[in-house]
Structure 1
């Protein structure tokens, strides 16, 4: 039997009691899932000829968990239609592509030669590599110029192979590099327009979608046929090529993956051509490594068949000593003087938050924000608590800032006026950007919402800023939700949605740092007290409920997803079954906090909310692969509510005992 399990790629487990037998079943069965999984919002492009609408193209980053450190992935395209405030996904044949929140077994995605359903190994951009050749570019040193991959240019050592590795092994490494698709676990597809043909309703766009994976590659995909224009693999990953190909590593203790790649989402700087039909004058894209490391990359992809590395920034060196793992998705903006810049948070400090339930007084890395020149990568401005490492010293910036930075332009001149960001210490900040020649930028601490015990809140995601007119006053409503992303099974923290009212950018008087007592608790039914700084809504309808994505605000409604490691049905479930928790969608009034929570079909950790804008001013709400009615969400205020649909087993994480589950590290 041991030989049978080994030949099948499995494992052998010995057990002499019921408890260990159950754990053995859980550790193997939980990762057996034929369904494709996604943890990021789908990619969708704005219609170039009608900028208030989205195109009808939807792109999903998909992956399938395996019981090792390498997971397979894919990128698939579908069509989305909006009618009556509800979205529907269609396959290439025009049929409904979904069955609940899962892809239908009979669906055929765009670019696919046959029915691919929920199988990530079939169809999509991955399938197109079977009929074309990958043009793989790499850097031979950090920040070096791009070269096209040729196996003859590499020694065994440069591929992380032993000196005695044979030509056959080397060839296997090369074949895998030229054909593999890793998991785009946290990489949201980025759509970039390269012009088009025709005009009016006959205008056909030329689009490229960019997505990166934990196989260490960025992929550029032609949306018309799914062909890969190029793939990019930086030195940091191609120098460990054997770990991603022929010597893929198992999971380490605590179910930790040992290899990551380019796991972040990307942003674009696009300088348009003279007309919408013309190719853009310049296209540059920016992205980080997330769990894969502490670097950001800028690629000039104006010529999408011949990319160039414009610059690379790495942490622990030079002006970026305090930069941690690069989780923050870069924001492209204009700084005073109309300088194109890229803005990002200092990142994540794994030494401080992976294995530490209690916060330290100061994190080792990530407690800074950076603004760099978008074309050159040179530092324009930085702020943080270590005065020797940043331009602006802010003693209160003590904790990592893994989330993106909210960029605000008050006077609509295209230039940044304010930046809002939050940290893993439960704090919210605003940076005021001085447009005068003195460039006297400053950072203000707005609120301290963390603490000890059940108030041990962390903000992993970007705040959302909304403009509100109250009588003769202009106010920014800043929405942010807390959740321990590195420990999604944590049940000890009372997480919450917070909405802070900030009038200072419009000439309001400076205010002291807000704490929890300065916010109205709307869960008690109380109306928000307008003399206070804002309101908050505890996430207490399910045990351990937390938010793991940034809120969306549309039409004075805050939309955000949450996750609880326990569902209402867990207490009555078969003790031999495995629970993936429950995901929810909250829709609450921005001004009052009134609203409702609905149960999502998808198990496990949900992505954030995407609001789609279709023809005839119709809108729809999408959460990953699930569509939600924009008009009549289900109300399930009862704590004992049943999920709308109990899906069959779908695995993302290996299940452990409750004590062991706290050690799971979400990538």
Structure 2
């Protein structure tokens, strides 16, 4: 089955088989939070409205004494609510409507008890097993809540009751905040969540400790202080609106050396976000959480600086070159004392082409989930354009690939720019200006407008294909280099 939320007010369940029934709709579901607005669809003066705007998550979980496939979804800009369906048994043309209706497990809306902190539910919902033995839906409270704070919700998957609501106390009605999509992490490999990371609109990257069997003990790690606060070079707060990516630290196992937390900054929600001018510079970060009992607060001054240093055209593609500064990890306690630091607690790269002393960031920001894959951190950026006609799609973006350890450009060509089936110096950029390609590129500009996180399909080693649907309505395919390491198993989940 294929489950798709749509702005017609429904979640659609489509037959994804290749047979005669492929593509047929099996059922549709209207969450109660959007029901009052359905009549607007038939209004002669209708202007665009959001309804079931979020992407659902479906996972096998042990619920109510049995293994079931549970689907949980949010509404993004469509409403302040979350819904859950039991989709264990496929729906066929002979399934009774009453049977389908019984598959609605629960809804959790902002008008419910404990719902006052629930805003518009941007971000994917996580379905995970918690330390107290329950399976739960884990999500950030979303944009524009009544109280204006960043709150993490952990909701029982069986009945929608709130197991734990963790309030960061960051934000208020004067300076509204919200918690973006969280990233649950299993540190010790037992398939149970130990920590949860999530960013907020005020630039805070939070770590939540849920490692206790007692849910009442779950809370913000490090005595309520954020792991990191993102600020640019002029000390402006940088909003975090997407899920971070978590990976092993290169020095050792997560239980010994902690983890790396990768995330970008920026937002694309309000009408003022659509302007390419007057925007604060945004950044992509890779920071080190040492997973120690106490935290010594650190800033970008303690991170390795990488930069975008060149933009040019190679084989018809607009490309970027970035620095390849070397990282030296600060393995002792406390923070690096020198400036710039000779040892580091991570790295960062401002989304700004510094070539020729340029200071115009073009409004570029990072507002899609990054991918950690085979030693690379892969992420798209968004660059808005001034819109004259409201029906124009506008915008562009860059597909970036960096070394996950240091944020440097890769040691090999990440893209087959001349489409010859090889990744070599014929795909390099000419930085020296002598007409010969001499440097690996780190980014490739979209030819299809604004792009989301790419879908990646493995090809014949070392080729992989990265597919990015764009705002022009087209899909761009990029032949990319998967690297020299064996992919192998990236993660696992014990189901039975």
Fold shared per TM-score above 0.5 = yes
Assess if the C-alpha contact under 8 Å between 2:398 and 2:446 holds in 1.
yes
Q: Which residue of 1 aligns with 2:159?
A: 376
1:560 pairs with one of 379, 404, 410: 379
Distance 2:163 2:257 in 1: 30
Q: Which residue of 2 aligns with 1:354?
A: none
Distance 2:466 2:40 in 1: 40
Indicate how the Cα distance of structure 1 residues 427 and 438 shifts in structure 2: closer, same or farther if over 3 A, else same: closer
Distance 2:129 2:234 in 1: 41
Indicate how the Cα distance of structure 1 residues 212 and 579 shifts in structure 2: closer, same or farther if over 3 A, else same: closer
Q: Which residue of 2 aligns with 1:247?
A: 43
Q: Which residue of 1 aligns with 2:248?
A: 467
2:74 pairs with one of 288, 292, 296: 288
Q: Secondary structure at the match of 2:352?
A: coil
**Is 1:338 the equivalent of 2:133?**
yes
Give ranges in structure 2 of 5+ residues lacking alignment: 92-98, 308-322, 331-343, 354-360, 410-441, 470-474, 484-496
Quote how far apart the aligned CAs of 1:430 are.
Answer: 0.6
Q: Secondary structure at the match of 1:527?
A: coil
Distance 1:288 1:501 in 2: 30
Assess if the C-alpha contact under 8 Å between 1:323 and 1:347 holds in 2.
yes
Distance 1:271 1:383 in 2: 23
Q: Which residue of 2 aligns with 1:13?
A: none
Assess if the C-alpha contact under 8 Å between 1:484 and 1:490 holds in 2.
no
Quote how far apart the aligned CAs of 1:439 are.
Answer: 4.9
Indicate how the Cα distance of structure 1 residues 264 and 381 shifts in structure 2: closer, same or farther if over 3 A, else same: same
**Is 1:593 the equivalent of 2:370?**
no
Deviations 1:589-633 (A, max 9, x none): 011211211112111x21112232467786432223222122299
2:397 pairs with one of 583, 587, 590: 583
Assess if the C-alpha contact under 8 Å between 2:367 and 2:382 holds in 1.
yes
Deviations 1:24-75 (A, max 9, x none): xxxxxxxxxxxxxxxxxxxxxxxxxxxxxxxxxxxxxxxxxxxxxxxxxxxx
Assess if the C-alpha contact under 8 Å between 1:427 and 1:450 holds in 2.
no
Quote how far apart the aligned CAs of 1:406 are.
Answer: 0.3
Q: Which residue of 2 aligns with 1:483?
A: 266
Aligned length: 380
**Is 1:431 the equivalent of 2:208?**
yes
Give the number of the structure with larger relative contact order, counting CA–CA contacts within 8 Å between residues 6 or more apart: 1
**Is 1:229 the equivalent of 2:26?**
yes
Deviations 1:209-242 (A, max 9, x none): 0001111101000012111001112344444433
Distance 1:439 1:385 in 2: 15
Deviations 1:136-164 (A, max 9, x none): xxxxxxxxxxxxxxxxxxxxxxxxxxxxx
**Is 1:503 the equivalent of 2:299?**
no
Indicate how the Cα distance of structure 1 residues 440 and 579 shifts in structure 2: closer, same or farther if over 3 A, else same: closer
Q: Which residue of 2 aligns with 1:390?
A: none
Q: Which residue of 1 aligns with 2:419?
A: none
1:506-655 alignment, distance < 5 Å: 508=292, 510-523=294-307, 526-531=325-330, 532-541=344-353, 542-565=361-384, 580-595=394-409, 596-603=442-449, 605-613=450-458, 619-624=464-469, 625-631=475-481
Quote how far apart the aligned CAs of 1:284 are.
Answer: 1.8
Give ranges in structure 1 of 5+ residues lacking alignment: 1-207, 252-256, 273-279, 351-362, 387-393, 571-577, 634-667
Deviations 1:388-422 (A, max 9, x none): xxxxxx78998533521101001111111010000
Assess if the C-alpha contact under 8 Å between 1:325 and 1:348 holds in 2.
yes
Assess if the C-alpha contact under 8 Å between 1:348 and 1:366 holds in 2.
no
Assess if the C-alpha contact under 8 Å between 2:116 and 2:147 holds in 1.
no
Distance 2:61 2:229 in 1: 39
Quote how far apart the aligned CAs of 1:243 are.
Answer: 1.3
Assess if the C-alpha contact under 8 Å between 1:456 and 1:494 holds in 2.
no
Quote how far apart the aligned CAs of 1:582 are.
Answer: 2.5
2:143 pairs with one of 342, 348, 355: 348
Q: Which residue of 2 aligns with 1:101?
A: none
**Is 1:415 the equivalent of 2:192?**
yes
Assess if the C-alpha contact under 8 Å between 2:147 and 2:172 holds in 1.
no
Distance 1:616 1:543 in 2: 37
Assess if the C-alpha contact under 8 Å between 2:463 and 2:482 holds in 1.
no
Quote how far apart the aligned CAs of 1:446 are.
Answer: 0.5
Distance 2:191 2:172 in 1: 29
* TM-score, L = length of structure 2: 0.70
Assess if the C-alpha contact under 8 Å between 2:152 and 2:179 holds in 1.
no
Quote how far apart the aligned CAs of 1:291 are.
Answer: 1.1
Q: Secondary structure at the match of 1:630?
A: strand
Distance 1:501 1:526 in 2: 17
Assess if the C-alpha contact under 8 Å between 2:201 and 2:240 holds in 1.
yes
Quote how far apart the aligned CAs of 1:370 are.
Answer: 0.5
Distance 2:196 2:211 in 1: 12
Q: Which residue of 2 aligns with 1:400?
A: 177
Quote how far apart the aligned CAs of 1:329 are.
Answer: 1.4
Assess if the C-alpha contact under 8 Å between 1:433 and 1:439 holds in 2.
no
Distance 2:325 2:147 in 1: 40
Deviations 1:152-187 (A, max 9, x none): xxxxxxxxxxxxxxxxxxxxxxxxxxxxxxxxxxxx
The structure richer in helix per residue is 1
Quote how far apart the aligned CAs of 1:312 are.
Answer: 0.8
Deviations 1:464-495 (A, max 9, x none): 00113316853311100011212143432100
Indicate how the Cα distance of structure 1 residues 395 and 581 shifts in structure 2: closer, same or farther if over 3 A, else same: closer
Assess if the C-alpha contact under 8 Å between 1:342 and 1:374 holds in 2.
yes
Distance 2:482 2:260 in 1: 25
